[in-house]
Structure 1
Amino acid sequence: MAEEIRQGLSVRTVPELMSFLGIKEDRVLHIIGLNKRTYQRRKAENRPLDPEQSDKVFRLARIGSRAEEIFGDSEPANAWLKAPNRALGGQVPVDLLDTDAGAEAVEEVLTRIEYGVYS
């Protein structure tokens, strides 16, 4: 997977990710650092995402999968990802996924939920 990310994932992974996470296009594009016009152009030309954007897509998918695993279903997982969270200082988990530090914080909270440690 690392080599695929370095080469650039298909731009078609973006709508798949939106569907998987139940997140609107503008929000996903913001998180992965891709403006709408560039996205539309890449989609029309079937050009891949760049490595940084591909890495962020992979991060979103990985954390979405982790949340689904912990909550047992995509609906509660996606709801959790899109709701303000006290353990994250009132921030919305998905909004933190544009950085490694934010993603680590979200993963830490998910791990605490998995093990029943809510404080």
Structure 2
Amino acid sequence: MDMGAVKYKEGDDGFNTVNEAISMYVSQDLPDASVASAQFFKNKMLVVKTIRKGLPFAIFSLIKKITPFSDEDWANYLNLSTKTLQRYKNEKDFLFKPIHTEKILELTEVTNMGVSVFDDLESFHDWLNTASLALGNHKPGELLQDSYGKELVLAELNRIEHGIFA
């Protein structure tokens, strides 16, 4: 996973920008949703509606900027080639399929929690790439490819947040 120029800044973590962008996108077709941007990920029904609608590449680009994942990582997690991701980027008004949208939003939630637990993106990135005894000596980043692995990673982040170490 390549960190590139991504840096987490206290008070300006980028998650608000993503929340606002998703909220604006969803509210275009769901005016009854009354979305408070900071609350998007807490409103599971809104997340479901967003998944079913599909996520525009423009919002995915914002998400990529606040996560520690490289283009290769994203391609792997989405089960796509990097060439396909590049093609999607060049398509006007491209929308990800629901299955890809769900994975993108899941990884955004994992990143949000990871940055919250570790206080910065770089420390979270380091943790993702370090084998964890609690995760069967797997690197947490390797487990993010499927939903069950993601749940294991979130559970471990939750234990770390509460000072419970295996």
Identity of aligned residues (%): 27
Structure 1 runs not aligned, ≥5 long: none
Structure 2 runs not aligned, ≥5 long: 1-46
**Match of 1:12, SS?**
helix
- State the Cα distance separating 1:37 from its structure 2 match: 2.5
Superposed CA RMSD in Å reads 1.6
Q: TM-score, normalised by structure 1?
A: 0.88
Structure 1 residue aligned with 2:108, among 40, 49, 61?
A: 61
Summarize the Cα distance change of 1:92–1:49 in structure 2 as closer, same or farther, 3 Å threshold: same
Any idea what the Cα deviations from partners look like across 1:56-91, whole Å, max 9, x if unmatched?
A: 000111011001111122221222122222211121
Provide the residue aligned with 2:68 in structure 1: 22
Stretch of structure 1 that moved more, 51-60 or 19-28: 19-28
- State the Cα distance separating 1:104 from its structure 2 match: 0.8
**Rg (Cα) greater in structure:** 2
Any idea what the Cα deviations from partners look like across 1:14-67, whole Å, max 9, x if unmatched?
A: 443333222211111111222223222221113111111110000111011001
Distance in 2, Cα, partners of 1:5 & 1:63: 16
Count residues with an aligned counterpart: 119
What letter is aligned with 2:109? R
